[in-house]
Structure 1
Amino acid sequence: MQVKRFFAADMRQAMKLVRDELGADASIIGTRRVAGGVELTAALDYEMPASPARQPNPELELELRKTQARIAAAHAEVASPTLAQSLREREPQRPAQPAQAVQASVAGESSTDQRALAAMRSELHGLRELIEVQLGSMAWGQMQDRQPQQANLWKRLQRMGFSAEISQALLARVSGVAEPRQTWRMLLAHLAHALKTPEQDPLEEGGLIALVGPAGMGKTTTLAKMAARYVLQYGAQNVALVSLDSFRIGAQEQLKTLGRILNVSVTQVDPGQSLTQALAPLARKRVVLIDTAGLPTSDPALRLQLESLRGVKARNYLVLAATSQAQVLKAAYHGYKRCGLVGCIVTKVDEAVNLGEVLGLAISQQLPVAYLADGPRIPEDLHRPRSHQLVSRAVSLQAEEDPSEETMADMFAGLYQGSTRRVG
């Protein structure tokens, strides 16, 4: 019998290590939480040991009887104090102990119980992860065997970068279509329908337009493209730039340089200064573009910045880089949604390996995609997309190779994890 321990950050990675090294016939004989992840013990040619004969433990049985008596007395206390007294008299007695000794004993038992409970929770959590991974692998195998067309669609959506939840919802819409090409066309049509774009160009709509989002998403560059686009179409007299980013000197200088080139005013709002007062001299401008600081969600200054935008009733667009991972995009949305988002702007499309992750967030959070930025040129590389164009772009950026079996099994395991969280 071959036995080996595997260490990984989570149960999925540990299971992959087991499959890669010992194969699919390996048996999991132990799991536990360790610093930095999980420890998983696996074996080949493992035979379940016979259960040892249960040896009686008089002390344990006595304690169990005492516990049962206390529970019965507690229930009886509510119904009848006399009955409760009778039950307490029947409770097994033990020699009296000093009060301090009793308190120390209780404290020791409580500490031991807490450690045992924590260990049990850790083991149960690891066991649940293990079951979810195995269920995901089984579900994906059954999908390939019984519904090969559906399995192929799952792979294509994964190549485009869409999450398991988005893929599942789309595939449910075409489950009754038999012909593969028609199924794919209908699936893309449903995808285009789920993606929203504004009916009117935000610049033509006018008013206060603020670009928000974490640092590095491309807010200042996008604002420059929007400003140049407006000046080329309508002139410089009706547009103004405002910067709330007093944290990055480079961003301030970039905006001032842009203002000189376009011949438009640039207003710098310092921390503590009223945004309402700063905007008052710009009331006659048809469009005011506001650049904001990309602050961490834990920074108190971010809350003040977002509240000031709500106070002036700006139309706030979340700027999202297509190069960002799904978790980063989700964190950006949840960190900035408090200011009231009317849509999003997708940047760095020319550097992205897929569009599924950013478009998936736009779909799940119902954020219309106002602009698409796909290069450094100002303003040529800023486009107003249509839903079908976004889908076509996502298809063109899909990965060339199918995802691995482990990736697909992990995706299905993620569906199980999501369902257990919703139920729990």
Structure 2
Amino acid sequence: MKVKRFFAANMSQAMKQVRDELGPEASIIGNRRVVGGIELTAALDYEPARVTPPTPGLDRELKKTREQMVTARARLDAGERSSDSPVVNRQMFGDSMREAAESGSTEARDFLARLQQEATEPYVAPLAKPAKAPEAYSEQASSSASDSAGMQAMKAELAGLRDLLEVQLGSMAWGQINQQQPKQAGLWRKLTQLGLPAELSQQLMTKVADISDQRQAWRLLLAHLAHSLPVAEADLVDKGGVIALVGPTGAGKTTTLGKLAARYVLKHGSQHVALVTMDTYRIGAHEQLRTLGRILNVPVRVVDEQNNLSEVLADFADKRLVLVDTAGMHGDDPELRSQLNELAQQGRRVQPLLVLPATSQYRVLKAAWHSYKRCNLVGCVLTKVDEAATLGEGLGLAMEVGLPLAYLADGQRIPDDISKAVGHKLVSRAVSLASEETPADATMADVFAGILNSQRAG
């Protein structure tokens, strides 16, 4: 027998390690949550050892006792008792204890009788001993802490078992589709190659469930995807106004601002444009914007302790377009909340665009949306498309939260590498970026496990 431990960030990755190293015949003999993820103990050719030789009569008694314990546990709080049954202190034992004793052995009934006798005897309180009181409180606190730790351990074990069950059910669901509906399985693989979230792929698959021809079904899937993508109807920069670029650190906000400003200057001239930066935290951030302002011949102002955003925008009231750069911070940073609140206070006067890097995972993109949605976002910009392996994560987020896609940035050149978002062009770009490598069965099993997890969380 071969036994090995596996460590991973989640249950899906741990199960994949078990399958890759020990094969599908391996048995999971233990799991627990550890710092940083999950620990699985797996064995190959594992046969549970029996402590005692098998005895048919004993096995029957054990099985009967287990059934009685399950029944007793289920009816622990029922509160019903027949008139001909012995009187039991319900507060201490409950009806389930009585039922278990009545249906069990003579020793169990005798044990219950002794407990009843002790429970009904008059209780004599012991004399108070002040010197012992602190110890009693200490013992009680220690007992409570022990019970709490035991509950936490039980919850962690149950969570691990639940994750393990979801992984196994996901593998079974994918195996059934792969064997019984190979054409549907092929479409599932293609959608996964695009990087689309599992829930969105499931919704799209329901739209082509009755189409037998795989090529036609694939074309319809892409058409539904392009039609469902929320995109900004007009070019926001051409419309003018105050546009603020917000987003996580390193998303490309300043570069995108430079591209949008240069496009507008080339089309309408520099006299109608102004640049504003709220980024006073990053070293040299405002100097970078001032350099851009000198190149484009447009004014630049900094929002700081002496000049708030309202005052700066009032000074630029005669400008047709004002582009505002912001600082990228962690979602829980108090300075970020202050910055977003200042933008939100401007109401519809400011149009915030969320800048998201297409190279980030879906969960990272969604976390960024949760952090910045408080400033009344009007759209988003997908950047670093030229560096992304897939485009489905960004498209999936826009569809899930209903955030219109305004621009697509795919390079560092100013102002060339930016374009207005168009539904069918986005889908075409996503298909061209998709990997040619077919997702493995283990990957598809994880997709279906993710669907089960989302259904449970919802």
Conserved? CA contact 1:70–1:88, under 8 Å: no
Aligned mates of 2:321, 2:142 — CA distance in 1: 69
Matched, 1:320 2:356: yes
> What is the aligned partner in structure 1 of residue 92 from structure 2?
70
Q: Which amino acid aligns with 1:37?
A: G
Aligned mates of 2:337, 2:297 — CA distance in 1: 32
Q: Quick one: which of 216, 230, 233 aligns to 2:267?
A: 233
Alpha-carbon distance, 1:144 to partner: 0.3
Aligned mates of 1:92, 1:7 — CA distance in 2: 53
> What is the aligned partner in structure 2 of residue 60 from structure 1?
none
> 1:88 and 1:98, CA in 2 relative to 1: closer, same or farther beyond 3 A?
farther
> What is the aligned partner in structure 2 of residue 20 from structure 1?
20
Aligned mates of 1:7, 1:148 — CA distance in 2: 33
Matched, 1:127 2:161: yes
Aligned mates of 2:332, 2:20 — CA distance in 1: 40
Residues 57-94 of structure 1 deviation map (CA, whole Å, 9 limit, x = unaligned): xxxxxxx9998442659xxxxxxxxxxxxx99872558
> What is the aligned partner in structure 2 of residue 91 from structure 1?
119
1:45-64 matches, within 5 Å, as 45-49=45-49
Conserved? CA contact 2:187–2:214, under 8 Å: no
Aligned mates of 1:24, 1:374 — CA distance in 2: 42
1:73-222 matches, within 5 Å, as 91=119, 100=133, 106-222=140-256
Alpha-carbon distance, 1:96 to partner: 6.1
> What is the aligned partner in structure 2 of residue 59 from structure 1?
none
Conserved? CA contact 2:195–2:390, under 8 Å: yes
Aligned mates of 1:385, 1:5 — CA distance in 2: 48
Q: In structure 1, the residue corresponding to 2:92 is in which secondary structure? A: helix
> What is the aligned partner in structure 2 of residue 285 from structure 1?
319
Q: In structure 1, the residue corresponding to 2:270 is in which secondary structure? A: coil
Unaligned runs of 5+ in 2: 53-57, 66-75, 77-86, 96-114
1:268-279 matches, within 5 Å, as 268-271=302-305, 273-279=307-313
Unaligned runs of 5+ in 1: 57-63, 74-86
Q: Quick one: which of 323, 338, 341 aligns to 1:304?
A: 338
Residues 281-330 of structure 1 deviation map (CA, whole Å, 9 limit, x = unaligned): 11111111111111222221211211111222300100111112222211
Alpha-carbon distance, 1:28 to partner: 1.6
Alpha-carbon distance, 1:251 to partner: 2.5
Aligned mates of 2:142, 2:245 — CA distance in 1: 57
> 1:399 and 1:97, CA in 2 relative to 1: closer, same or farther beyond 3 A?
farther
Aligned mates of 2:117, 2:91 — CA distance in 1: 10
> What is the aligned partner in structure 1 of residue 55 from structure 2?
none
Alpha-carbon distance, 1:395 to partner: 0.4
Q: Which amino acid aligns with 1:254?
A: Q
Q: Which amino acid aligns with 1:401?
A: E
Q: Which amino acid aligns with 2:447?
A: M
Conserved? CA contact 2:410–2:418, under 8 Å: yes
CA RMSD in angstroms, aligned pairs only = 2.7
Q: Which amino acid aligns with 2:2?
A: Q
Name the TM-score, length of structure 2 as normaliser. 0.81
> 1:105 and 1:320, CA in 2 relative to 1: closer, same or farther beyond 3 A?
closer
Aligned mates of 1:215, 1:32 — CA distance in 2: 35
Alpha-carbon distance, 1:344 to partner: 0.3
Aligned mates of 1:51, 1:102 — CA distance in 2: 40
Overall identity of the aligned pairs, in %? 55
Alpha-carbon distance, 1:37 to partner: 2.9
Alpha-carbon distance, 1:106 to partner: 4.5
Matched, 1:408 2:441: no
Q: In structure 2, the residue corresponding to 1:247 is in which secondary structure? A: coil
> 1:103 and 1:189, CA in 2 relative to 1: closer, same or farther beyond 3 A?
same
Q: Which amino acid aligns with 1:33?
A: R
> 1:36 and 1:304, CA in 2 relative to 1: closer, same or farther beyond 3 A?
closer
Alpha-carbon distance, 1:7 to partner: 3.0
Aligned mates of 1:105, 1:296 — CA distance in 2: 43
> 1:21 and 1:98, CA in 2 relative to 1: closer, same or farther beyond 3 A?
farther
> What is the aligned partner in structure 1 of residue 396 from structure 2?
360
> 1:417 and 1:91, CA in 2 relative to 1: closer, same or farther beyond 3 A?
same
> 1:88 and 1:177, CA in 2 relative to 1: closer, same or farther beyond 3 A?
same
Alpha-carbon distance, 1:111 to partner: 3.4
Conserved? CA contact 1:246–1:271, under 8 Å: no
Alpha-carbon distance, 1:133 to partner: 0.8
> 1:409 and 1:209, CA in 2 relative to 1: closer, same or farther beyond 3 A?
same
Conserved? CA contact 2:88–2:116, under 8 Å: no
| Greater Cα radius of gyration, structure 1 or 2 | 2
Aligned mates of 2:376, 2:120 — CA distance in 1: 65
Conserved? CA contact 1:66–1:92, under 8 Å: no
Conserved? CA contact 2:242–2:321, under 8 Å: yes
Q: In structure 2, the residue corresponding to 1:40 is in which secondary structure? A: strand
Q: In structure 1, the residue corresponding to 2:274 is in which secondary structure? A: strand
Alpha-carbon distance, 1:340 to partner: 0.5
> 1:345 and 1:339, CA in 2 relative to 1: closer, same or farther beyond 3 A?
same
Residues 38-63 of structure 1 deviation map (CA, whole Å, 9 limit, x = unaligned): 3322223333455865899xxxxxxx
Q: Which amino acid aligns with 1:360?
A: G
Q: Which amino acid aligns with 2:391?
A: L
Alpha-carbon distance, 1:35 to partner: 3.4
> 1:89 and 1:314, CA in 2 relative to 1: closer, same or farther beyond 3 A?
farther
Aligned mates of 2:142, 2:345 — CA distance in 1: 56
Q: In structure 1, the residue corresponding to 2:18 is in which secondary structure? A: helix
